[in-house]
């Protein structure tokens, strides 16, 4: 169990760490010693039971790493308290505690000792660790002779093999290349699902969406929200994504959960309106105004569609690999076929358009044009008569095309890129 009660962590900041004796005395005399305590984490509360996966979200400087440091016990909270059971292992310290001049076996012993295990335990595990890391042939090599990939494999294997009770992950679930990546992420998932408590810090919400049972949102040290069940966790992640979008326009934005929730509901309603289906809104319990919004949107959309511009900017920017996910392409295909049965135009990034064109052609969608938005291409698109759907891969191209046509265009945010968001 990991339990945090009213945890506040104070950090010392200012020009103190490189101060020599002379400066220190002078500053003391002049009383201008500039060491300011900064509250890096304030009043944070959460409880984790075995099997929990806590995703900690928040922008840079939110206090995520500081909080993790106090979970591992390196930093003592100034107020409140954190209790942990069992051995806590952090993968963020992957490279620490290894010595270049010792061979792998000695390094495993050293590293195991640092993690607080007994000699017998580590010696018993050494062969297993070497085997898992696929480094048995290298066991007598010095650590410094290993490639960086081998090093991370070794460190990872040690962390996994000792079956941690509390696991602290920083963005990574796996290391190495190809087959080892697969193997290590499987092993990690086994540990996570095998009853360990996991604390995961990251900016990417993809992993969290899959695994998180609880979500803690920090902003500038303060606890914005804590979701303690799967449903709330997923919703909170969605709110966080909306906040990130707001923050990219206004870096000083402060998360306001109620406002974010309102926007989240609206976007869901818009999506449902475009799909002309209310089924996805069943859990939402619409208010009167929201109900009205839904009706308006559905009515409005019916009159609008002349040329539809859909940007794939989301896919391109964040998850390009989704292009190669057949399931999502199928979704896109259905959506396109629902909108039109005429040829479509693909415009923007050349390679993405090329890939998409091939994929769509295979599925019986005719593509009238595919390529970059050069002046000539735009001229051609303008003169096309038998097209009513243009897909662009980025917002700029979409903007350019919008200028060309007089048709009313649905904005990209509203169409949600066919909801291809993973």
Interacting residues toward other proteins by CB under 8 A: 11-12, 16-22, 24, 69, 72-76, 88, 90, 92-93, 96-97, 99, 101-102, 109-110, 113-119
Left (φ > 0), alpha (ψ -120 to 50) or beta: where does 19 sit?
beta
CB of 46 to other proteins, least distance (A): 20
CB of 157 to other proteins, least distance (A): 17
Q: Closer to other proteins at the Cβ: 123 or 256?
A: 123
Q: Closer to other proteins at the Cβ: 24 or 354?
A: 24
CB of 16 to other proteins, least distance (A): 7
CB of 313 to other proteins, least distance (A): 39
**Whole-angstrom Cα Rg for the chain:** 27
d(CA 355, CA 256) in angstroms, rounded, equals 40
φ, ψ for residue 61, nearest 5 deg: 80, 15
Q: Which two tokens stand for residue 99?
A: 């010595």
Positive or negative, the Cα torsion across 212, 218, 221, 226? Answer: negative
- Measured from the Cβ of residue 351, the count of other Cβ atoms closer than 10 Å reads 10
CB of 200 to other proteins, least distance (A): 18
Compute, in degrees rounded to 10, the torsion defined by CA atoms 314, 320, 325, 328.
10
CB of 100 to other proteins, least distance (A): 9
d(CA 217, CA 207) in angstroms, rounded, equals 16
Q: Which two tokens stand for residue 345?
A: 């135009």
Q: Closer to other proteins at the Cβ: 119 or 262?
A: 119
Q: Closer to other proteins at the Cβ: 92 or 172?
A: 92
Q: Closer to other proteins at the Cβ: 93 or 414?
A: 93
Q: Closer to other proteins at the Cβ: 22 or 30?
A: 22
Residues in the chain: 422
Q: Closer to other proteins at the Cβ: 20 or 251?
A: 20
Q: Closer to other proteins at the Cβ: 171 or 300?
A: 171
d(CA 290, CA 302) in angstroms, rounded, equals 19
d(CA 215, CA 200) in angstroms, rounded, equals 9
> Closest Cα partner for 159 from 137, 193, 132?
132
CB of 3 to other proteins, least distance (A): 17
Residue bearing tokens 């934005």: 253
Angle at 218 between CA 216 and CA 220, to 5 degrees: 175
Q: What distances in angstroms separate CA 273 from CA 130, 264, 295, one per listed residue?
A: 56, 14, 8
CB of 29 to other proteins, least distance (A): 16
Collect all residues with Cβ–Cβ distance below 8 Å to 121 and sequence separation of at least 6. Answer: 112, 162
CB of 2 to other proteins, least distance (A): 14
d(CA 422, CA 321) in angstroms, rounded, equals 10
280: helix, strand or coil:
helix
Q: Closer to other proteins at the Cβ: 88 or 356?
A: 88
116: helix, strand or coil:
coil
Q: Closer to other proteins at the Cβ: 83 or 118?
A: 118
Q: Closer to other proteins at the Cβ: 110 or 410?
A: 110
Please count the CA atoms within 13 angstroms of the CA of 295 that sit on its side-chain side. Answer: 7
CB of 251 to other proteins, least distance (A): 27
CB of 333 to other proteins, least distance (A): 49
Partners of 54 in beta bridges = 199, 214
């Amino acid at each position: 169990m990991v339990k945090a009660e009213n945890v506040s962590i104070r950090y010392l900041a200012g020009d103190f760490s490189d101060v020599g004796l002379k400066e220190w005395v002078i500053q003391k005399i002049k009383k201008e010693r500039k060491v300011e305590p900064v509250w890096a984490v304030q009043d944070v509360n959460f409880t984790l039971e075995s099997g929990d996966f806590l995703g900690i979200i928040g922008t840079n400087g939110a206090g995520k790493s500081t909080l993790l440091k106090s979970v591992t016990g390196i930093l003592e909270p100034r107020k409140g308290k954190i209790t942990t059971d069992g051995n806590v292992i952090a993968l963020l310290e992957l490279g620490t505690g290894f010595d270049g001049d010792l061979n792998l076996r000695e390094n495993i012993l050293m590293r195991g000792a640092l993690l607080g295990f007994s000699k017998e335990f580590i010696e018993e595990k050494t062969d297993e660790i070497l085997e898992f890391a696929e480094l048995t042939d290298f066991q007598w090599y010095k650590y410094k002779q290993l490639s960086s990939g081998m090093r991370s494999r070794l460190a990872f294997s040690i962390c996994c093999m000792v079956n941690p009770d509390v696991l602290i992950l920083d963005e990574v679930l796996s290391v190495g290349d190809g087959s080892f990546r697969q193997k290590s992420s499987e092993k990690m998932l086994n540990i996570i699902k095998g009853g360990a408590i996991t604390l995961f810090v990251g900016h990417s919400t993809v992993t969290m969406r899959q695994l998180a049972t609880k979500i803690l949102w920090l902003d500038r040290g303060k606890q914005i929200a804590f979701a303690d069940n799967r449903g709330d966790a997923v919703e909170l992640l969605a709110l966080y994504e909306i906040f990130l979008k707001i923050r990219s326009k206004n870096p000083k934005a402060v998360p306001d959960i109620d406002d974010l929730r309102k926007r989240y509901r609206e976007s869901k309603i818009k999506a449902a309106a475009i799909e002309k289906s209310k089924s996805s809104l069943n859990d939402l319990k619409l208010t009167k105004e929201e109900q009205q919004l839904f009706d308006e949107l559905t009515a409005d959309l019916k009159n609008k569609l002349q040329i539809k511009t859909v940007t794939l900017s989301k896919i391109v920017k964040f998850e390009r690999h989704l292009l190669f996910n057949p399931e999502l392409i199928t979704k896109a295909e259905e959506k396109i076929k629902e909108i039109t049965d005429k040829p479509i135009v693909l415009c923007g990034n050349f390679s993405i358009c090329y890939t998409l064109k091939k994929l769509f052609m295979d599925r019986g969608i005719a593509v009238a044009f595919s390529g970059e938005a050069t002046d000539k291409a735009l001229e051609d698109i303008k003169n096309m008569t038998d097209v009513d759907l243009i897909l662009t891969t980025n917002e700029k191209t979409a903007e350019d095309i919008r200028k060309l046509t007089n048709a009313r265009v649905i904005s990209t945010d509203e169409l949600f890129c066919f909801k291809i968001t993973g």
